């Protein structure tokens, strides 16, 4: 079933740090929408409603419907500012998208089949080097996430960007910069051997002393 998200927003006239503080005290989140042929517009959102939406991973990589004073726009969430230690959203940036224009977006990676991974069965551990990738595509082709199949990855092997199976019409932005940007997104490493305080591994530490 296709997921859709609608964000209700209000126009805000007051801008600046003082106005933003007053909005936050009132349970609102200052925001902005920009891009396309129209001017940037300052907005306010319900903190409770945007927090609920953000709890769904798909919200970050979906085309959203932004309702502003009875007008709907297609947007993506471009940036989000959170309080460093409180569960508070400080600011949100949205970017307008056009159905006929290539867009860039960050899409989460889902690592699957780790339980049957060749390297894991041999005693290794999976290291997730990246948890998302930047893609370029038309809005209609934007994936919710991209699967990375780990089943055939052996000990000491990695999965690189160029090995990712991409949906039709989707490209990785990093690879457009050349082969030097074909970085690893996951690897299987041998487990580290625990060492005692003197730097000797456990096996050596357990050997009986010579008589």
Question: What confidence tens digit (pLDDT) does each residue in 60-92 have?
Answer: 999 999 999 889 999 999 999 999 999 999 999
Same domain as 72, residue 126? no
Same domain as 117, residue 50? no
- pLDDT at residue number 210: 46
Q: What is the mean pLDDT of the chain?
A: 89
143-176 per-position pLDDT tens digit: 999 999 999 999 999 999 999 999 999 999 999 9
- pLDDT at residue number 205: 47
pTM above 0.95, yes or no: no
Picking from 50, 76, 96, the residue at the C-terminal end of a domain is 96
Q: How far is CA 188 from CA 8, 113, 201, in A?
A: 44, 13, 22
For the chain, what is the domain count? 2
- pLDDT at residue number 211: 41
Same domain as 138, residue 83? no
- Tally Cβ neighbours within 10 Å of residue 143: 18
Residue in the structure block whose two tokens are 């460093």: 84
CATH of the domain at 128: 2.170.120.20
Q: How confident is the model at residue 201 (pLDDT cuts 50, 70, 90)?
A: low
Q: What DSSP state is assigned to residue 16?
A: S
What is the span of the domain harbouring residue 27?
6-96
Residue 205 forms part of a structural domain: no
Instruction: Measure CA of the first residue to CA of the last residue in the chain; give whole Å.
Output: 72
CATH of the domain at 14: 2.40.240.10
Cα separation, 52 vs 83, in Å, equals 16
């Amino acid at each position: 079933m296709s997921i859709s998200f609608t964000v209700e927003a209000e126009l805000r006239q007051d801008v600046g740090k003082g106005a933003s503080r007053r909005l936050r005290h009132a349970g609102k989140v200052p925001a902005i929408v920009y891009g396309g042929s129209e001017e940037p517009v300052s907005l306010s959102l319900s903190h409770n409603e945007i927090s609920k939406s953000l709890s769904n991973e798909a919200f970050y990589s979906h085309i959203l419907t932004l309702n502003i004073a009875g007008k709907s726009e297609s947007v993506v969430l471009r940036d989000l500012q959170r309080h460093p230690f409180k569960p508070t959203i400080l600011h949100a940036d949205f970017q307008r998208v056009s159905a006929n224009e290539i867009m860039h977006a960050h899409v989460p990676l889902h690592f699957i089949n780790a339980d049957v991974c060749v390297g894991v069965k041999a005693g290794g551990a999976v290291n997730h080097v990246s948890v998302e990738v930047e893609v370029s595509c038309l809005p209609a082709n934007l994936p919710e996430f991209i699967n990375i199949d780990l089943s055939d990855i052996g000990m000491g092997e990695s999965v690189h960007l160029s090995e990712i199976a991409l949906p039709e019409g989707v490209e990785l932005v990093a690879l457009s910069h050349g082969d030097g940007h074909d970085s690893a997104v996951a690897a299987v490493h041998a487990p580290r051997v625990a060492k005692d305080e003197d730097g000797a591994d456990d096996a050596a530490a357990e050997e009986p002393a010579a008589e």
